[in-house]
Amino acid sequence: MTPLAVTDPPASFDVEAFLGAERGRVNAALSALASSRVEGAPTVLREAMQYALATPGKRLRPALCITAYRLLRPGPAPDAVYRLSCVVEIIHTYSLVHDDLPCMDDDELRRGRPTVHVVFDPGTAVLAGAALIPAAVRVLDDAARELGLDAPARGRMIGELCRAGAAQGMVGGQWLDLIGEQPGATVDADGLERIHRLKTGALLAVSLRMGAMAAGADEARLEALTAYGNELGLAFQIVDDVLDVTRTAEELGKTAGKDVDAGKATYPSLFGLQRAREMAVERTGHAVDALRAVDIHSPELEALAAYVLERGR
Amino acid sequence: MTPLAVTDPPASFDVEAFLGAERGRVNAALSALASSRVEGAPTVLREAMQYALATPGKRLRPALCITAYRLLRPGPAPDAVYRLSCVVEIIHTYSLVHDDLPCMDDDELRRGRPTVHVVFDPGTAVLAGAALIPAAVRVLDDAARELGLDAPARGRMIGELCRAGAAQGMVGGQWLDLIGEQPGATVDADGLERIHRLKTGALLAVSLRMGAMAAGADEARLEALTAYGNELGLAFQIVDDVLDVTRTAEELGKTAGKDVDAGKATYPSLFGLQRAREMAVERTGHAVDALRAVDIHSPELEALAAYVLERGR
C-alpha cells in the first residue's frame, strides 16, 4: 500500500483550535473526576493523584476517543463521552508517574513541573500511580453506563482497557524501554518498534476503540481505528525521538538531549535524522490509509496525523 | 454485643488440613494463571510477575473466597471458583511487591525468599506489580463467566474489587502505613485501626464477598461476611504486630523486630502485649458474631478466626 501524503492538513481544519477546545472540556471533566473519585482517600495520597492528573498535556488520547465517538455520532458529544475519554488519560497519567520514578527514568520535570515523586516522595508516587488504575476502571464503567451501554458492552470495554494496560501492552513497553536504557543494552529497529507499539500504540488504539465502541461501531471500523492508532503511536514516538535531538529543554518542558546522553536507541540514532523524519511521514500515511480503506474520511483524525508530524519539523 | 469466645476451634475441624488442601488447589490455579496470563509479555517482566505470584503464602484470601462460595453451594467447588479466588491473591501479591520496594518498606526478604526488586530490580518490581492489576481484573471476568455469572454480576464484582484496591481501600492503607513509619509521625489507636481496615480488611472482605456473590448470596449475608472480613483483618494485623515482638526472623521468614526498631506504632506499642492479645480475641469474637447474626454457622470461618489467634500465641 502506497502511503498517502498527509503532510498537508485539510486547509479548512484548524487542528490547534480543535485540540484546544477538546482539551478545555477534557480538563474540566478530568478535574471534576480528580475531586470526586478520590473522596475518602488519605489527604496527601489524594493530593498526589490530583497533582498527577493536573499535569498539563495535549490530551491527545481523550481527543482520539471523542473523535472516534463522533465519527458515528456527529455533533457535540455528551459530557459522559468526555468522562469516558478521561479513562485513557488516567491510565496514561499513572504510567508517567511510574516512568518518572528514580528507579525508572528518574525525571524531575514533566511539562515544566516537578514530577510527583519530587513534590511528594517516591513511595507516594508508586502508590498514587497504582491507585489510578482501579479508579480508571470505575470511571469507565460509570461513563459507559451513562451513555446507555449495557453490561456486556461495558465489560468488553473494561477487558480491552485491561489488555492495553497489561504486561503484554503498555507496561510491557515501559519495561522494554527501561531495560533498553541499561548500559550495554542493544535495541535494534524491530525492538524499538515493539517498544513503541506496546508503550504508546496500545493505549492510543484503545482510546479510539473505546470512543467508537461507545457509539456502536462495527468490527471493520474498530480494526481500522486500531491500525490508525498503532501507526499514529509509532509516528508520535519517532517525532518524540527527533524532538529530543533538535529541541532545547525550554521548548520541550523536559530535559533535552537525554536520550543521546543515555546512549539510548532512538529512531535518529538507528536511522539518522532525515530517514527518521521520513519514517514518521510514512507512518502517518499508513494511519490515514487504514481509515480510508473502510471509508472513514475524518478531517479531525487526518489533521491529527499531520499535527503529529508538524511537531517534529 | 458481647464477643463470643472463639479461642477454641471446633474440635472436629482440622483447620491446618483444610487450609493445606485449599492451598494446594489455589497454588495450582495460580501457577496455571501465572503461565497463561502473561504470554506475549517481555520475558523478564513475565518472570518477575511469575516469581511474585510464586511467593509462598497462607492463601488466606483465596480460602475465604472459596469458603464463602461453599456456604451457599456446599460440596467441592468447581475449578473456576479457585481461579476466581486467585484474583484477590494477585491483588494482594502486587501490593506486597510494591510494599517491599526500597522507597517503601525496603524489605529484602518475604517468606524467606529475596523480594522481587532484589532478584530483579526496583523498576521491574514497580512495573510487574502494576501489571498484576489489569491481569487480576481479566482473571475475575473470565472466572466469573465460567461460573455462569451474567455481565451485570461480573461488572459488579469488578467494581467491588476496584473499590477494595483503591486509594480509599488497600492502597490508602499502604500509604497511611508508609507515612506512619516516617520519623516523627504519630499514629494513635484510631489511626492504626484505619490503616488496617483499609490495608487488610478491605481485601479480606472483598475476598469473601466475591465468593459469596459468585454463589448468589443475598445482601444480608454479604454484609455479614463483610463485617467478618473486616474484623478478621484487624485481628490478623494485631496478631502480626504481636508476632513482630515475640518471634525470631527464622520463624517469621522476614526481618523480625522491624516495627520496634522503626519506632512504628503497633498494637503492642500502643496497648501493651497483653491487651493487644485480648483485642485480637475480641475482634475474632465480633467476626463470628456477625456471621451468627444472620445464621451463618461455618466451621471453616470460625476455625479460621481461631487460627488467626493461634498464630499469635
Return the domain boundaries, chain A: 15-311
pLDDT at A264: 79
Rounded to the nearest integer, the mean pLDDT of chain B is 91
pLDDT band at A178 (very low <50, low <70, confident <90, very high): very high
- CB nearest A167 (choices: B45, B171, B174): B45
Examine the pLDDT at B308 and tell me if it is beyond 70. Answer: yes
B94 and A CB contact within 8 Å = yes
Q: Determine phi and psi for B114, rounding to 5 degrees.
A: -60, 140
Contact A175 B45 (CB under 8 A): yes
| Residues counted in chain A | 313
What is the average pLDDT across B190-194?
94
Examine the pLDDT at A174 and tell me if it is beyond 50. Answer: yes
- Taking alpha carbons only, the member of B95, B33, B38 closest to residue B61 is B95
Residue-wise pLDDT for B11-35, tens only, equals 578 899 999 999 999 999 999 999 9
pLDDT at A86: 98
pLDDT at B3: 37
Across A180-189, A255-264, B165-174, which has the greatest mean pLDDT? B165-174
Q: Where are the alpha helices (DSSP H) in A181-272?
A: 189-196, 202-214, 219-246, 249-252, 258-261, 267-271
Residue-wise pLDDT for A207-252, tens only, equals 999 999 999 999 999 999 999 999 999 999 999 999 988 876 556 5
Examine the pLDDT at B243 and tell me if it is beyond 70. Answer: yes
Contacts of A56 (CB under 8 A, 6+ apart): A111, A112, A113
pLDDT at B186: 87
pLDDT at A12: 72
Rounded to the nearest integer, the mean pLDDT of chain A is 91
Distances from the Cα of B94 to the Cα of A203, A241, B48, B124, B129, angstroms: 22, 32, 11, 12, 4
pLDDT at A4: 36
pLDDT at B4: 36
pLDDT at A252: 59
Residue-wise pLDDT for B87-131, tens only, equals 999 999 999 999 999 999 999 999 999 999 999 999 999 999 999
What is the average pLDDT across B256-268?
73
Contact B98 A133 (CB under 8 A): no
Q: Element (H or E) spanning B110, and its range?
A: strand B109-110
B127 and A CB contact within 8 Å = yes
Examine the pLDDT at A3 and tell me if it is beyond 70. Answer: no
- For residue A151, which amino acid is it? A
pTM above 0.90, yes or no: yes
Examine the pLDDT at B61 and tell me if it is beyond 80. Answer: yes
Q: Which of A56-60, A125-129, A257-261, B3-7 has the lowest mean pLDDT?
A: B3-7
CATH architecture of B15-311: Orthogonal Bundle (1.10)
Contact A101 B123 (CB under 8 A): yes
Contacts of B61 (CB under 8 A, 6+ apart): B85, B88, B89, B92, B203, B204, B207
Number of Cβ within 10 Å of residue B260's Cβ equals 14
Alpha-carbon gap: B199 to the closest alpha carbon of chain A (Å): 12
B260 and A CB contact within 8 Å = no
B56 and A CB contact within 8 Å = no
B35 and A CB contact within 8 Å = no
pLDDT band at B254 (very low <50, low <70, confident <90, very high): low
Residue-wise pLDDT for A241-288, tens only, equals 999 888 765 565 566 566 656 677 899 999 999 999 999 999 999 999
Contacts of A75 (CB under 8 A, 6+ apart): none
Contact A159 B138 (CB under 8 A): yes
Tell me if residue A113 falls in helix, strand or coil. strand
Contact B137 A158 (CB under 8 A): yes
Q: Where are the alpha helices (DSSP H) in A37-169?
A: 43-53, 60-72, 79-99, 116-119, 122-146, 151-164
Contact A176 B94 (CB under 8 A): no
Alpha-carbon gap: B127 to the closest alpha carbon of chain A (Å): 6
Q: Which of A11-20, A37-46, A147-156, B304-313 has the lowest mean pLDDT?
A: B304-313
- The residue ranking higher by pLDDT, A222 or A5, is A222
pLDDT at B258: 65
- CB nearest A98 (choices: B127, B176, B179): B127
pLDDT at B144: 98
Contacts of A40 in chain B (CB under 8 A): 168, 172
Contact B29, B53 (CB under 8 A): no
Examine the pLDDT at B220 and tell me if it is beyond 60. Answer: yes
